Each structure stands twice: as C-alpha cells, then as structure tokens.
C-alpha cells in the first residue's frame, strides 16, 4: 500500500510574499502560509495546491539556460507527519538516494520533518511532514 501524498513545486525567493502574490494573481488563486510551517507559503487554486514559495535570503535569480546556476526549484512531497518514515522507506526502495545539506543538521543524523533526496536521475526533492488534514488521501 502506498502512503497518501501530494506534490508541490517549491520556488525559492528572497521576497516570497511578493512572488506568492504574483502567482496567486496570475493563476486566480490565493496565497497564505502553510499550516505548521513558517517558511513556506502555499498558492492554492480551485483544484487544490498549485505552488509553494519558500524564503531564501540568498536567492539569486536563475541564470537559465546557463548550466552553472543554482538550484531554483525542487519537488516537495507533502506527507502526513505520522507516515514520514514509511514514505521515506518507499522512496528509497524505489531508487531515491538520501542527501544531506551541510547547514541543516541532517549530516549529524537528526530525523527532521524535512528529508532531502535525489531521484534516480539526480533531481532534488524533499519529503516534508505536514498535518494529516492537509494531505489529500483520495487523489490517485
């Protein structure tokens, strides 16, 4: 059985409120803080979650398509906090490779509510614990 999950593309921004408002207006959606997470804003439309925006004070605009630019986006997979360990086992079983950021304490083995991985092709994503009432359980 698969743990219920939903995905949110998260954009980093030095001014997340402005970026979230931009996308909310552009998409006819609303923007507000993620419940239980002071660093993440969620842009929500009629169909549910559309986009996340996270504060990064050192954010540099993308140099795309130049390859030497920094990571500008990553996939954030929201999981019920009680199912985070099981979701991690699923991801690793499917071929995800755990990675650690030197500045988040995860190299010291802490089990945080944010766990970072590389997919089999090397793309970054994170499993993020969130309250059960936020994670839709009936979507395929």
Sheet with 73-80, strands from edge to edge, namely 30-34, 37-45, 48-55, 5-13, 73-80, 124-130, 114-118, 97-99
Domain positions in the chain are: 5-130
The pLDDT value given to residue 101 = 56
* DSSP code for 94: T
Q: What percent of the chain has pLDDT over 70?
A: 75
Compute the distance between CA of residue 41 and CA of residue 53 in angstroms, rounded to an integer: 5
Q: To the nearest 10°, report the CA torsion of 43, 56, 88, 51.
A: 20
Backbone φ and ψ for 111, nearest 5 degrees, come out as -105, 85
Q: Which residue has the higher pLDDT, 124 or 4?
A: 4
Question: pTM, whole model, 2 decimals?
Answer: 0.60
Q: Which CATH topology does 5-130 take?
A: 2,3-Dihydroxybiphenyl 1,2-Dioxygenase; domain 1 (3.10.180)
Q: How confident is the model at residue 107 (pLDDT cuts 50, 70, 90)?
A: very low
pLDDT tens track for 46-75: 878 779 999 888 887 766 556 666 656 677
């Amino acid at each position: 059985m698969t743990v219920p999950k939903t995905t949110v593309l998260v954009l980093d921004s030095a001014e997340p409120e402005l970026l979230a408002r931009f996308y909310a207006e552009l998409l006819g959606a609303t923007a507000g803080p993620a419940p239980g997470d002071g660093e993440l804003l969620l842009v929500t439309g009629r169909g549910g979650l559309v986009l996340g925006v996270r504060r990064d004070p050192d954010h540099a605009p993308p140099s795309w398509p130049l390859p030497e630019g920094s990571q500008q986006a990553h996939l954030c997979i929201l999981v019920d906090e009680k199912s985070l360990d099981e979701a991690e086992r699923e991801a690793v079983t499917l071929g995800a490779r755990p990675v650690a950021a030197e500045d988040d304490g995860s190299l010291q083995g802490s089990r945080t509510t944010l766990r970072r991985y590389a997919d089999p092709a090397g793309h970054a994503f994170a499993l993020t614990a969130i309250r059960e009432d936020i994670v839709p359980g009936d979507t395929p």
